[in-house]
Amino acid sequence: MKATIEFDDELYRQLKATAALRGSKVKELVAEGVRMMLRQTEDPQPFRRIRLPIVKSRKPGTLKLTGQMIAEYEAEIDSGREA
């Protein structure tokens, strides 16, 4: 299918030069860009579940985390181990 697209002069010069450097045609480069944009909108970032640490408390109903406890847990996560 054919379509007419208007570009400002500078953008078209950049597009044409990039296509020439790649050894392709302007229409191929535009089609590739459109495909990339459509893929991004179809596949948003997947939901990533966050695992929170289980911390035992000496007194039920209270939670006191020290900086050292947090640093140790973050170090475990960074090393690929799970708490």
Query: In Å, how far are 32, 33, 53, 76 from 38, measured between CA atoms?
Result: 10, 9, 38, 38
Residues 38 and 60 in one domain: no
Q: Domain containing 60: what range?
A: 49-83
- The reported pLDDT for the residue numbered 78 is 82
Q: How far is CA 35 from the centre of its chain?
A: 17
Give domain status of residue 2, yes or no. Answer: no
Give domain status of residue 3, yes or no. Answer: no
On whether the pTM is more than 0.75, the answer is no
- The reported pLDDT for the residue numbered 49 is 79
- The reported pLDDT for the residue numbered 51 is 82
Could you write out the three-class secondary structure of 5-52? CCCCHHHHHHHHHHHHHHCCCHHHHHHHHHHHHHHHHHCCCCCCCCCC
- The reported pLDDT for the residue numbered 83 is 44
Binned average pLDDT, 10 residues per bin, the chain of 83 residues: 92 94 94 88 70 75 80 82 50
Residues 53 and 83 in one domain: yes
Residues 16 and 37 in one domain: yes
- The reported pLDDT for the residue numbered 42 is 64
